[in-house]
Amino acid sequence: MHLHILGICGTFMGGIAAIAREAGHRVTGCDTNVYPPMSDQLRALGIELIEGFSADQLSLKPDVYVIGNVVTRGNPLMEAILDAGAPHTSGPQWLAETMLRERHVLAVAGTHGKTGTTSMLAWILEHAGLQPGFLVGGVPLNFGISARLGAGRCFVIEADEYDTALFDKRSKFVHYRPRTAILNNLEFDHADIFADLAAIETQFHHLVRTVPASGRLVVNARDEALQRVLQRGCWSSVQRFGTKREEPGGLCARGEPHAFDVLRGSLKIGHVAWDLMGEHNQMNALAAIGAAEHAGVAPEQAAAALGSFRNVRRRLELRGEVAGIRIYDDFAHHPTAMRTTVNGLRRKVGLQRILAVFEPRSNTMKTGTMKAQLPWALEEADLSFCLQGPYGWNARDALAPLGPLAVVADSVDALVAQVKKAAQPGDHILCMSNGGFGGIHSKLLEALSPGTGSEPRR
């Protein structure tokens, strides 16, 4: 079968392409951002890439066009496909109908922590010898790839609540029909397509409806929104995590996030010792252990496997060190995620200074819906630096409660200059964005290098 994928350079659609190619299909694709590293990864798989969405791609005559949700009406190729009545489908639907049938699908849903938890779960199953397939919205360092078909029965997927395609406004995750589903947490997000939190809760309710009675929901017991979701109907067994120790059957942790016992009620069933920091990673680990158990991996074995888990690219990833200053990259795209990331770094570096550098690039952040939460998200940082983009709201006003501890610049180069002026040896510069951030990491490394102008202030 020949697939032509529209929007192929996105993480999810690129994963679809890799899985389809591994399954023996011919895959071509197009996008407006055909550049490394995704372009190199796809071409290494033998996938032909076309820049742009020209209507003449209709001459390729694939068996099916697979449409990413970046594609909108008015897109020249999409309009040509519709006019011609050419066969087309969405990425989630194609994956579900051709790759996930007969598989034990383990889906990881939630506002935060999907990528990390999906990666943890895939690694636990791999460590147990189950050879899972997976599709992750990032690159787990244990695997070095974001997606694979896998030789085993299990398939682990990051289950996004964003809409499926221009012709299917259901959340992506309703297509996957998981047997095991993690519900990690639930906050208002994706303000460009959801009116409020209640609308997202409805989509999670729809996901719950797809899990069979023999399936399992692994649910964060601390999250009120998820409890409301379950109150609307639940037809599967439920494993709660993050519970109090006196609650029988629930999974909880005893100890620090980097070294803790896994408890079921008051009974110790495993121990995790790893390099990850932060309570959020501890909670993600409990979720992954609970889901892996439903696939046949004992909690003790799952906890031991996490000792060799290496995290995901762009999760407090150290990009370099220069003049005694460390520069990190993180995908944080929501105020809660930003606060969690800053807190995780704070736990690691103690009283050393943290300079938080961010761009409010996600669709939710661009609307300004979350702007009032930014000072709260950044309060553990010593200094904050924000890129002002064409958001329709003023970042300087939003960050005014932080006073002189917050700096706003209108370009990446100006932001780099401001950070360079403030940076001191021993500082930790934390860059947060769900995009490339204009190559700010390499620009900072170059600007702070000795011999490139004024030295960092000492």
Tell me how far the alpha carbon of residue 148 is from its chain's centroid: 17
Average pLDDT over residues 192-221: 93
Q: pTM of whole model > 0.85?
A: no
Can you give the three-state secondary structure of the chain, one letter per residue?
A: CEEEEECCCCHHHHHHHHHHHHCCCEEEEEECCCCCCHHHHHHHCCCEEEECCCHHHHHHCCCEEEECCCCCCCCHHHHHHHHHCCCEEEHHHHHHHHCCCCCEEEEEECCCCHHHHHHHHHHHHHHCCCCCEEECCCCECCCCCCEECCCCCEEEEECCCCEEECCEEEEHHHHCCCCEEEECCCCCCCCCCCCCHHHHHHHHHHHHHCCCCCCEEEEECCCHHHHHHHHCCCCCEEEEECCCCCCCCCEEEEEECCEEEEEECCEEEEEEECCCCCHHHHHHHHHHHHHHHHCCCCHHHHHHHHHHCCCECCCCEEEEEECCEEEEEECCCCHHHHHHHHHHHHHHHCCCCEEEEECCCCHHHHCCCCHHHHHHHCCCCCEEEEECCCCCCCHHHHCHHHHHHEEEECCHHHHHHHHHHHCCCCCEEEEECCCCHHHHHHHHHHHHCCCCCCCCCC
- Domains of the chain (ranges, CATH numbers): 2-93 (3.40.50.720), 100-308 (3.40.1190.10), 317-448 (3.90.190.20)
Average pLDDT over residues 418-432: 94
Average pLDDT over residues 219-226: 95
Question: Shortest CA distance to 307 belongs to which of 136, 106, 120?
Answer: 120
Q: What is the spatial distance between Cα 226 and Cα 205, in angstroms, rounded to a whole number? A: 9
- Give yes or no for a contact between 280 and 286, defined as CB atoms under 8 angstroms apart: no
* pLDDT of res. 455: 41
For the cut 90, the answer to whether the pLDDT of residue 330 exceeds it is no
Query: How far apart, in Å, are the Cα atoms of 110 and each of 186, 187, 228, 244, 296?
Result: 6, 8, 14, 21, 23
- Give yes or no for a contact between 252 and 241, defined as CB atoms under 8 angstroms apart: yes
Query: Is the backbone of residue 139 left (phi > 0), alpha (psi -120 to 50) or beta?
Result: beta
**Token representation of residue 429:** 């510069």
- Give yes or no for a contact between 381 and 356, defined as CB atoms under 8 angstroms apart: yes
The vertex-385 CA angle with 384 and 387, nearest 5°, equals: 145
Buried/exposed 410-430: b ≥16 CB within 10 Å, e otherwise: eebeebbebbbebbeeebbbb
For the cut 70, the answer to whether the pLDDT of residue 458 exceeds it is no
* pLDDT of res. 343: 86
Bridge partners (DSSP) of residue 66 are 5, 89
Average pLDDT over residues 288-304: 98
- Give yes or no for a contact between 447 and 385, defined as CB atoms under 8 angstroms apart: no
Q: What is the spatial distance between Cα 16 and Cα 95, in angstroms, rounded to a whole number? A: 7
For the cut 80, the answer to whether the pLDDT of residue 440 exceeds it is yes
Q: What is the spatial distance between Cα 354 and Cα 345, in angstroms, rounded to a whole number? A: 8
Over the stretch 234-258, which tens digit does the pLDDT of each residue have?
A: 999 999 999 887 788 999 999 999 9
Over the stretch 342-390, which tens digit does the pLDDT of each residue have?
A: 988 898 889 999 999 999 887 777 778 888 889 998 999 999 999 998 8
Work out the pLDDT band at 37, boundaries 50, 70, 90. low
- Give yes or no for a contact between 410 and 336, defined as CB atoms under 8 angstroms apart: no
- Give yes or no for a contact between 27 and 5, defined as CB atoms under 8 angstroms apart: yes
Q: What is the spatial distance between Cα 455 and Cα 458, in angstroms, rounded to a whole number? A: 8
Work out the pLDDT band at 279, boundaries 50, 70, 90. confident
Stronger pLDDT, 112 or 452, i.e. the higher one: 112
* pLDDT of res. 328: 92
Question: Shortest CA distance to 178 belongs to which of 150, 154, 143, 145?
Answer: 154
Phi, psi angle pair for 107, to nearest 5°: -105, 140
Query: Is the backbone of residue 199 left (phi > 0), alpha (psi -120 to 50) or beta?
Result: alpha
For the cut 90, the answer to whether the pLDDT of residue 451 exceeds it is no
